Amino acid sequence: MGRSESDPLLEFMYPGHGSSSILDIGQGENGIVGSSSNGNNSFNSLTYQNISENSPLIRNNNSANSLVDHNYNSPLSSTSSSCGKSEILVGTTNEKMDLTGTEEAKVKKIGGSGEHKIGQLFATAICGNDITSSIFYTASSCTLSAGKYAPISLSIVCLVLYLFRKIYGEVGSALPLNGGAYNVLLNTTSKQFASVAAALTMISYVATAVVSGSSAMGYLHSLWEGLDVFWATIILLGFFALLNLMGITESAVVAFIIFVIHMVTLCILVFGGFGLYFYKHDWTILINNYQDVNPDIPIGPDQLPCDRQFYWGQDFAYCIYFGFGSAMLGVTGFETSSNFIEQQKKGVFPKTLRNMWAIVTFFNPLIGVLALCYLPTCSIANANSDVLAQLADRIFGKWFHYWIIIDAVLVLSGSVLTSYVGFVGLVRRMALDRCLPQFLINVNPLRKTCHWIIILFFLICSSLFAIVKGQTSTLEGVYAVSFLGVMGLFAIGNMLLKYKRSSLRREIKSPWIGVLLGLVAVFLGLIANIIRNTSIMFYFGIYFSITIFVIMVMFTRARLLKVVLFFSQIVIWWSPQLKARVARSIGDSIKKINSQPIVFFAAKDDTAYLNKAILYIRDNEQTNWVKIIHCYDDQGESIDNFSQNVEFLDGCYPKIRIDFIKVFADFTPSTVEKISIILGVPKNFMFIACPKEHTGSMVIPLSLGDFGGVRCITH
């Protein structure tokens, strides 16, 4: 087969021949005897009952080291290797695994870390704090762009959000796993392209946490002038890091309290404001605003007069368009729920989308109108994030002005909490997929939380805030581009899901026209923000490049080590012993990276079909070991062609070991769970082609999410 390599330093590149074996997890007295490609018919017996989560055969994380010490006699160890004197890989050669008479295995999702599931109210509160906190600056920024037409722009955004409610809902129904846009693109495109969405989402969360935390402490500074905003922001970020270390349930309780206070505040503002307005019958300010009267009002040192505002003198379409671009930033946080979907109870995810849409649709346009009733357009545009406080002062007086400030501190702080929750869910999923370092998925045994991710997020946000010296204006532009980019990629992912994964079952379906309109709307909003301030692309490019660089290093670390190996053999010319020692060390590191086995559940023996799966794995996963598994429930079914085709492909790819395992059982979530436990392969490294309603014995019962993380990789 051409697997041997004369240079022992390069033996790590050739993992050896594949094997053929049989696994019986059906009912019956006897296991099915299988054969190995090396002709050895002696079998080791292994029962499902003997395997526990503490077994040395089970890998509890994805950094599975498949290198076996020569003194370790594993029942799954390969009996031969073409790698000379190198350590052999744990394989599936020559074993008989008897799982007869076992109960169905409980399916565990890959992203679950043992935390309690949260319900509709708590999940809505976590997301709602983020999306409703934006009203503190959206009313002003939208008026700055649209002037008196701001309520119209805000209403158009609500229509766009309704489209995305369906778009997000369909994806979450078909693929109920953490990761958001990353998750849907991972199951419809390549891992590299999915990582672009992940990078945008991470940038969005970091920018949100820093900007919201700084804004919250800025509001608090207006009440307590002795407060140091810089250190107060760092302390706030640290407080929510500690809260997240305690667990998502405890975090959700705090988020819910903040959310309730904020909803009560907005209701008092809206209902009380309109009630007093219609009671007093003073229409002067509203009429002047719509007649473009330039009021004689004092202008601050950093403020512009009315006739120099962006909207002044522009036509209806111009104002509506750029107002729409600004108003799109008023729905940031809508994507958060999809990044911790596995921590939500069943059926909660679409309800959180509905609740967020309803809240935004009710409050944002009404507050835009209310502001025009009480404040001149120019004053609203100059108010920045202080517009609601000024509005409260005009309606109820100073006491409500202070109330709004306190509410702003709370809800903007809640937005920081939302960023933590979304970031943790996304990074954990990426670490499970080996897109990020594996230590990030370590779980605190006491609170079942991913402490390294939480600490990392705190350090990133704190250091970034220190780098910009507390001036977050540059981050606001980065925040705008990354958020709109994530929404656009989510719409693209939904279209790919419809085209490539149309047979996946889902409870919610978004019409094609709705997805296309949503994508166009987001693109137009992104263009509007870039035209308004072209410099945001420069800053966005810096942050995006750094983030994507870290991810790409993880993708190419095995290749980078090969480059290091090549140059080390040139540089270390004076000492053959040192050269060999360095080569062995680097080779072992590469072998460890590539030794994570990948499972592909094959429904048919077509060579082109199998080859397509292997090509995807080769191009997207860092591995040199593929296990092709075929589940069948008919003992009379001939699978000779399967073995021959797999053996043929095994010879075509000398740098990939391809095993073939026959499983006498239906393809069900329980079967997949048992195989995952026995082989020690996490389910996010178990792939299938997109199944039809009935593909042989492979039947999808409800959705791909029922399998707990198995991925679709081919069309």
Question: pTM for the full model?
Answer: 0.80
- Beta strands at 625-632 and 598-601: parallel, antiparallel or unpaired: parallel
78/19 Cα distance (integer angstroms)? 9
Helix (H, G, I), strand (E, B) or coil at 631: strand
Of residues 56 and 703, more confidence is placed in: 703
The residue ranges of every structural domain in the chain are 8-91+597-714, 120-533
The percent of residues above 90 in pLDDT, for the chain, comes to 27
Q: From CA 219, how far away is CA 232, in angstroms rounded?
A: 11
The secondary structure of residue 44, as a DSSP letter, is: E
pLDDT value at residue 622: 87
Q: Which residue has the higher pLDDT, 144 or 97?
A: 144
Q: What is the structure's pLDDT at 223?
A: 84
Q: Hey, what are 625's tokens?
A: 């070991």
pLDDT of residue 16: 61
For every residue of 232-290, DSSP letters joined together read HHHHHHHHHHHHHHH-HHHHHHHHHHHHHHHHHHHHHHHHHHHHHHHHHT--HHHHHHH
- Assign domain 120-533 to a CATH class: mainly alpha
Spatial contact of 178 and 429, defined as CB atoms under 8 Å apart = yes
Say how far apart CA 500 and CA 494 lie, in whole Å. 10
Sheet-wide strand order for 95-98:
44-47, 95-98, 20-24, 657-664, 625-632, 598-601, 686-689, 711-714
pLDDT mean across residues, the chain: 79
Q: How confident is the model at residue 169 (pLDDT cuts 50, 70, 90)?
A: very high
- Report residue 1's pLDDT band, with 50, 70 and 90 as the boundaries: very low
**507, 349 in Cβ contact below 8 A?**
no
Q: What is the pLDDT of residue 89?
A: 34
Tokens of 453: 């991710």
Return left, alpha or beta for 84; rule: phi > 0 is left, psi -120 to 50 is alpha, else beta. left
Question: Buried b vs exposed e over 170-203: b needs ≥16 C-beta within 10 Å?
Answer: bbbbbbbbbbbbbbbbbbbbebbbbbbbbbbbbb
Query: Residue 478 and residue 698: Cα distance in Å, rounded?
Result: 45
Residue listed under structure tokens 């980078």: 560
Stretch among 44-53, 198-207, 471-480 having the lowest mean pLDDT: 44-53
Lowest-confidence region among 126-135, 146-155, 348-357, 491-500: 126-135
User: Contact at 8 Å (CB) between 432 and 441?
Assistant: yes
- Sorting pLDDT into bands at 50, 70 and 90, what band is 711? confident
Predicted local confidence at residue 301, as pLDDT: 59
Residue 372 pLDDT level (bands cut at 50, 70, 90): very high
Long-range contacts, 669-673 (Cβ 8 Å, 24+): 669/107, 669/701, 669/706, 669/707, 669/708, 670/104, 670/105, 670/107, 671/25, 671/631, 672/107, 672/601, 672/707, 672/708, 672/710, 673/105, 673/106, 673/107, 673/108, 673/708
Given a cut of 60, whether residue 693 has pLDDT beyond it is no
Q: Work out the average pLDDT over 465-493.
A: 85
Q: DSSP assignment of 313-336, as one string?
A: T--HHHHHHHHHHHHGGGGTTTTG
Lowest mean pLDDT among 66-70, 418-422, 528-532: 66-70
| pLDDT for position 152 | 95
State both tokens at 5: 């390599």
Termini Cα distance of the chain = 30
Q: How far apart are CA 151 and CA 148, in angstroms?
A: 8
**In contact, 7 and 81? CB cutoff 8 Å:** no
- Residue 227, SS3 per DSSP: coil
How much is the pLDDT for 513? 96
What phi-psi label fits residue 683: left (phi over 0), alpha (psi between -120 and 50 degrees) or beta? alpha
Looking at residue 180, what is its pLDDT? Answer: 85
pLDDT one-digit tens code per residue, 620-677: 888 889 999 988 776 656 677 888 899 899 889 988 999 999 888 888 888 888 898 8
Over residues 398-433, the pLDDT tens digits come to: 999 999 999 999 998 888 888 888 888 788 888 888
Average pLDDT over residues 361-373: 93
Q: In this model, does residue 448 exceed pLDDT 70?
A: yes
